[in-house]
């Protein structure tokens, strides 16, 4: 696990999460890029409001998908760490 | 408009790690995927005269430019078509007095809006009006980190001062910034300073963009072509800086075609993700497509964008893989690089349907390398032929 549990991730300025009706998928609008999200990534990012910390995000996902928090934690960490490096998620 | 090849918005998968997600390939006869993004060349007017400008040699005049209403209608049509991003470009888009209205309209219909600018032709008040209208992102081009060189390349006095002032407004507004550093033989050794410039401006992203040789850059190729040693130097410096600024500055960089062995998927594939609209409303599959002889370009003044995108002769001509001759036709990369760049194939081989000579499988690959070597070995550096209205005529 890389990210501290108390991190409160949010979309960086200039990044927009939206549903792309023309292609029936969730996307992130970023500078000169469109990132296509799979179902899990879309669920994670909808919870990155700047209010919830990592622990709360994982708990919320675990409840929504009836899964063990431990199974979700690594995926969330990997996704968010990558997006922080790309300056798509701010902390 | 800078000298780089405009990349369309790319699609990436998020699972598990972000990477390129090739869209499903479809034969031409099947419904065409909607475009992801459009480059709107609002005007060809520009105070700068960069000799690598990717605008055509025959610049369109102000009298022929689309009106505010025509641009708004076009932007609405793009949204209906399913496009997600619009890039306001030119020329210098900020010389259009209606830019604020166009940005506001684009936001109103749901677009992610990007301004591609020199930053040298706008007041603080107008910039803040753009932000107020919902502008999402700004890309500023830099001619060099070294002010005197930037003046020589742009042919504008005090250009650096103007750009730095503009960049400070962008930073104060909190808007994400991309610095586009166009590099070539005459500034490439300042790469470290250009990287530091981007860091000092708090840019999120730096595009280290090698000049691509069509339009004005093709006319100035001998003055701009870097040497292999220069290329290796810049590649090494970028690799080092990427590591040093990891998480702080994203650096986009690709090896230029004349030194490459695999072609790039120009525009993400012809007529697949991207379109370009000229100041007078002509709809192009890429901004250099007008160099291809015998091609008809429909205008938004006469036809709907949906019709042009799906059926326009220019878009159908090199869409998909059916048009491909060998070595592309049987190549396992054909739906990855989509045959590379048509305009480059034309410029080097004289045939727009040939394989991109950047490809090692092209019969013209060695000839392309020879062009670079000849330019680099020339005993004297030619003067720049500056981008000016009327100067493109032979």
pLDDT, tens digit, 9 for 90 and up, residues B201-253? 999 999 999 999 988 999 999 999 999 999 999 999 999 999 999 989 999 99
Which residue does chain A place closest to B246, by CA atoms? A85
Q: Report ipTM (2 d.p.).
A: 0.86
Residue B80: CB atoms within 10 Å: 14
Number of structural domains in chain A = 1
**Which of B380, B374, B85, B376 is CA-nearest to residue B224?**
B376
Q: Is residue A29 part of a domain?
A: yes
Give the span between the Cα atoms of B388 and B394, in whole angstroms. Answer: 13
Give the span between the Cα atoms of B229 and B240, in whole angstroms. Answer: 17
Domain interval for residue A27: 10-90
Q: Which of A9, A17, A23, A31 to mutate to test the interface with B (most CBs of B within 10 A)?
A: A31
- What's the confidence (pLDDT) of residue B160? 97
Q: Is residue A81 part of a domain?
A: yes
Q: Is residue A5 part of a domain?
A: no
A82 CB within 8 Å of a chain B CB? yes
- What's the confidence (pLDDT) of residue B394? 56
Q: Is residue A3 part of a domain?
A: no
Q: Would you state the structure tokens that stand for residue B37, as one six-digit string?
A: 């993004």
Domain at A85, CATH number: 1.10.10.1150
- What's the confidence (pLDDT) of residue A38? 92
Rg (CA), chain A: 13
What DSSP state is assigned to residue B299? B
- What's the confidence (pLDDT) of residue B238? 97
Q: Would you state the structure tokens that stand for residue B59, as one six-digit string?
A: 């610049």
Chain B contact set for A85 (CB, 8 A) = 246-247
| Distances B144 to B5, B89, B183, B184, B250 between C-alpha atoms, Å | 18, 20, 8, 10, 19
Judge: B178–A32 Cβ closer than 8 Å, yes or no.
yes
- What's the confidence (pLDDT) of residue B27? 43
Give B337 to chain A, closest Cα distance, Å.
Answer: 18
Residues of B with CB under 8 A from a CB of A: 7, 9-18, 21, 34, 36-37, 81-82, 84-85, 87, 110, 112, 114, 136-137, 139, 174-176, 178, 204-205, 246-247, 250
Judge: B176–A37 Cβ closer than 8 Å, yes or no.
no
Residue with token string 């496009």: B83
Least confident of A69-73, B50-54, B85-89, B318-322: A69-73
Rg (CA), chain B: 20
Judge: A13–B10 Cβ closer than 8 Å, yes or no.
no
Q: Is residue A1 part of a domain?
A: no
Least confident of A85-89, B5-9, B260-264, B363-367: B5-9
Confirm whether pTM is higher than 0.80: yes
Give A4 to chain B, closest Cα distance, Å.
Answer: 16
- What's the confidence (pLDDT) of residue B1? 56
**Residue in A16, A36, A78 closest to B12 by CB:** A36
Which residue does chain A place closest to B8, by CA atoms? A32
Burial class (CB in 10 A: 0-12, 13-18, 19+), A42: middle
Q: Give the mean model confidence (pLDDT) for residues A21-27.
A: 94
**Residue in A22, A29, A75 closest to B112 by CB:** A29
**Which of B85, B125, B102 is CA-nearest to residue B274?**
B85
Reported as a single tens digit per residue, the pLDDT across B244-299 is 999 899 999 988 999 999 999 999 999 999 999 999 999 999 989 999 999 999 99
Chain B contact set for A75 (CB, 8 A) = 16
Cβ(A74)–Cβ(A68) under 8 Å? no
Give the span between the Cα atoms of A77 and A83, in whole angstroms. Answer: 10
Q: Which of B34, B202, B204 to mutate to test the interface with A (most CBs of A within 10 A)?
A: B204
Q: Is residue A2 part of a domain?
A: no
Q: Exposure pattern of B138-164 as b/e (b: 16+ CB <10 Å)?
A: bbbbbbbbbeeebbbbbbbeebbebbb
Reported as a single tens digit per residue, the pLDDT across B106-149 is 999 999 999 999 999 999 999 999 999 999 999 999 999 999 99
Give A55 to chain B, closest Cα distance, Å.
Answer: 20
Reported as a single tens digit per residue, the pLDDT across B34-77 is 999 999 999 999 999 999 998 999 999 999 999 999 999 999 99
Q: Is residue A4 part of a domain?
A: no
- What's the confidence (pLDDT) of residue B16? 32
- What's the confidence (pLDDT) of residue A1? 53
Reported as a single tens digit per residue, the pLDDT across B346-379 is 999 999 999 999 999 999 999 999 999 999 998 8
A27 CB within 8 Å of a chain B CB? yes
Q: Distance of alpha carbon B94 from its chain centroid, rounded?
A: 17
B64 CB contacts (<8 Å, ≥6 apart)?
Answer: B279, B280
Report the C-alpha dihedral over residues B181, B183, B186, B188, rounded to 10 degrees.
Answer: 90
Give the span between the Cα atoms of B353 and B351, in whole angstroms. Answer: 5
Reported as a single tens digit per residue, the pLDDT across B328-339 is 999 999 999 999
Which residue does chain B place closest to A43, by CA atoms? B14
Half-sphere exposure of B2 (CA within 13 A, CB side): 28
Reported as a single tens digit per residue, the pLDDT across B140-199 is 999 999 999 999 999 999 999 999 999 999 999 999 999 999 999 999 999 999 999 999
What percent of chain A stands above pLDDT 90?
Answer: 70
Q: Is residue A61 part of a domain?
A: yes
């Amino acid at each position: 696990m890389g990210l501290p549990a108390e991190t409160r991730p949010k979309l960086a300025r200039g990044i927009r999460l939206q549903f792309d009706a023309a292609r029936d998928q969730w996307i992130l609008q970023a500078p000169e890029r469109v990132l296509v999200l799979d179902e899990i990534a879309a669920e994670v990012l909808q919870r990155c409001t700047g209010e919830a910390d990592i622990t709360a995000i994982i708990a919320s996902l675990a409840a929504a998908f009836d899964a063990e928090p431990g199974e979700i934690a690594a995926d969330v960490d990997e996704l968010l760490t990558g997006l922080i490096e790309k300056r798509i998620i701010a902390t | 408009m800078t000298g780089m090849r405009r990349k369309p918005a790319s699609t990436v998968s998020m699972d598990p790690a972000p990477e390129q997600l090739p869209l499903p390939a479809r034969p031409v006869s099947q419904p065409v995927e909607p475009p992801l993004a459009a480059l709107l060349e609002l005007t060809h007017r520009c105070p700068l005269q960069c000799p690598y400008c990717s605008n055509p040699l025959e610049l369109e005049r102000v009298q022929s430019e689309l009106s505010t209403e025509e641009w708004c209608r076009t932007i609405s049509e793009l949204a209906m078509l399913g496009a997600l991003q619009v890039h306001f470009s030119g020329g210098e888009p900020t010389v259009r007095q209606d830019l604020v209205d166009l940005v506001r309209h684009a936001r109103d219909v749901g677009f992610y809006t990007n301004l591609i600018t020199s930053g040298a032709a706008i007041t603080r008040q107008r910039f803040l009006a753009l932000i107020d209208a919902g502008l999402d992102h700004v890309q500023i081009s830099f001619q060099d980190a070294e002010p005197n060189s930037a003046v020589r390349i742009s042919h504008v006095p005090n250009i650096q001062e103007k750009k730095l002032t503009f960049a400070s407004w962008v930073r104060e507004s909190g808007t994400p910034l991309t610095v586009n550093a166009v590099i070539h033989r005459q500034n490439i050794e300042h790469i470290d300073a250009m990287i530091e410039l981007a860091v000092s401006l708090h840019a999120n992203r730096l595009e280290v963009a090698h000049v691509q040789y069509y339009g004005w850059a093709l006319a100035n190729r001998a003055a701009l072509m870097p040497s292999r040693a220069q290329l290796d130097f810049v590649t090494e410096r970028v690799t080092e800086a990427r590591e040093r600024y990891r998480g702080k500055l994203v650096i986009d960089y690709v090896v230029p075609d004349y030194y490459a062995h695999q072609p790039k998927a120009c525009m993400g594939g012809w007529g697949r993700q991207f379109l370009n609209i000229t100041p007078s409303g002509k709809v192009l599959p890429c901004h250099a497509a007008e160099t291809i002889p015998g091609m008809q370009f429909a205008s938004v003044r006469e036809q709907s964008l949906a019709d042009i995108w799906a059926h326009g002769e220019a878009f159908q001509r090199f869409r998909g893989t059916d048009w491909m001759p060998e070595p592309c036709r049987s190549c396992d990369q054909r739906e990855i690089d989509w045959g590379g760049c048509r305009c480059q194939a034309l410029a080097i081989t004289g045939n727009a349907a040939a394989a991109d000579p950047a490809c090692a499988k092209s019969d013209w690959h060695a000839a392309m390398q020879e062009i670079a070597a000849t330019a680099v070995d020339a005993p004297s550096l030619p003067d720049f032929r500056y981008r000016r209205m009327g100067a493109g005529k032979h």
